[in-house]
């Protein structure tokens, strides 16, 4: 099916690695031009090369989504080079130090998790509204997480940030609907690419240990086959970015957790985290 994304421009934050990488390539396969806005310049360049190999255009713009000025500059660059932004995918998220029980969290660590997972989305939404409104509309797809609705003991701040992203998206959908801008959320379960080449140095799965630990965590918590590939989620993100097929959808959350029904994982979470504790504890204390 033709999604009507050919010659449209999409900005993917955190588009260098893992899920963002998969989203960038999925839009490229639909013929869209891609702006990869990521702190990892080297991996962002690799992703843009792969996008160009698919026959469309792409640029990498070094952007730290926690800095509102850099977010505005990335949107301006997209407008200068490609003439506007049709779709914004706020994908950058997770981050070092995300895992940890509430009792262990410092205020500074909590602020870092909120900066990346909530404020980054906030800053990019603010930056894109004006050019999208001037162009007569557009689509924003925010990447949440399935933990936003059920929580997880080891992710108290991240779960809160993702719940805030959902609430913000619903409010923006109401405010921006009259301007022709749709705002939706895709909330995945566990996502990991098949190969480490889709992972750059700023990804949270950037070493063989972290990659394998995450696979073990996902498999331990989601034994029903819940570990998804970036491509599984990227299809939903292109669907929601397409006015042709999703024109009637705004303010919604698509939760995609594969074959896993969550709800009974507390005991498994404890066991799995304890088994993985050495490397998990390192990521908990990183700045």
Ligand X SMILES: NC(=O)c1ccc[n+]([C@@H]2O[C@H](COP(=O)([O-])OP(=O)(O)OC[C@H]3O[C@@H](n4cnc5c(N)ncnc54)[C@H](O)[C@@H]3O)[C@@H](O)[C@H]2O)c1
Q: How far is the CB of 142 from ligand X (least distance, A)?
A: 8
Site string for ligand X, 132-151 (x = CB under 6 A): -----------x-x------
Cα separation of 106 and 126, whole Å?
28
CB neighbours (10 Å) of residue 69? 10
Q: Is residue 18 close enough to count as binding ligand X by CB under 6 A?
A: yes
Binding residue count for ligand X, defined by CB under 6 A: 30
Binding to ligand X in span 145-204, by CB under 6 A: 145, 188, 190-191, 200, 202-204
Cα separation of 249 and 165, whole Å?
17
10 Å CB burial of residue 1 (0-12, 13-18, 19+) is exposed
- Interface residue with ligand X among 64, 149, 231, 232 (CB under 6 A) is 64
Query: Among all residues, whose Cβ is closest to ligand X?
Result: 93
Q: Is residue 226 close enough to count as binding ligand X by CB under 6 A?
A: no
Please report which helix (H) or strand (E) contains residue 273, including its range.
helix 266-285
Place of tokens 């310049």: 41
Query: Which residue in 10, 135, 16 sits closest to 81, CA to CA?
Result: 10
SS3 49: helix
SS3 267: helix
Place of tokens 């999604």: 3
Q: Which are the catalytic amino acids?
A: 158
Q: How far is the CB of 180 from ligand X (least distance, A)?
A: 25
Cα separation of 111 and 10, whole Å?
28
Binding to ligand X in span 105-124, by CB under 6 A: 116
Of 9 and 145, nearer to ligand X (C-beta) is 145
SS3 139: strand
Task: Mark the segment that binds ligand X (CB under 6 A) among 2-10, 13-21, 237-245, 266-274.
Answer: 13-21
Site string for ligand X, 80-99 (x = CB under 6 A): -----------xxxxx----
Q: How far is the CB of 143 from ligand X (least distance, A)?
A: 4
Of 79 and 192, nearer to ligand X (C-beta) is 192
Query: Which residue in 6, 13, 29, 36 sits closest to 117, CA to CA?
Result: 13
Of 47 and 243, nearer to ligand X (C-beta) is 47
Binding residues for ligand X, rule: CB under 6 A, are 13-14, 16-20, 38-40, 63-66, 91-95, 116, 143, 145, 188, 190-191, 200, 202-205
């Amino acid at each position: 099916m033709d999604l009507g994304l050919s010659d449209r421009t999409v900005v993917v934050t955190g588009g260098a690695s893992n899920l963002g990488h998969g989203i960038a390539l999925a839009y490229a396969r639909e013929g869209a031009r891609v702006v990869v806005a990521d702190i990892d310049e080297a991996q962002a360049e690799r992703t843009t090369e792969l996008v160009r190999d698919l026959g469309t255009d792409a640029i990498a713009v070094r952007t730290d989504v926690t800095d509102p000025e850099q977010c505005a500059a990335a949107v301006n660059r997209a407008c200068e080079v490609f003439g506007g932004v049709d779709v914004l995918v706020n994908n950058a998220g997770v981050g070092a130090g995300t895992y940890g029980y509430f009792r262990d969290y410092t205020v500074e660590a909590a602020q870092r998790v909120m900066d990346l997972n909530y404020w980054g989305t906030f800053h990019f939404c603010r930056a894109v509204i004006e050019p999208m409104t001037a162009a007569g509309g557009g689509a924003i797809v925010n990447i949440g997480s399935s933990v936003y609705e059920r929580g997880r003991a080891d992710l108290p701040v991240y779960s809160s940030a993702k719940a805030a992203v959902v609430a913000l998206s619903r409010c923006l959908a109401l405010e921006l609907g009259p301007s022709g801008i749709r705002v939706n959320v895709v909330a995945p379960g566990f996502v990991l690419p098949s190969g480490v080449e889709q992972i750059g140095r700023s990804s949270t799965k950037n070493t063989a240990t972290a990659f394998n630990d995450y696979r073990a965590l996902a498999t331990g918590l989601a034994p029903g086959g819940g570990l998804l590939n970036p491509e599984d989620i990227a299809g939903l993100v292109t669907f929601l970015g397409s006015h042709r097929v999703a024109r009637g959808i705004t303010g919604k959350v698509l939760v995609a957790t594969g074959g896993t029904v969550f709800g009974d994982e507390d005991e498994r979470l404890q066991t799995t985290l304890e088994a993985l504790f050495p490397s998990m504890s390192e990521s908990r204390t990183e700045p």
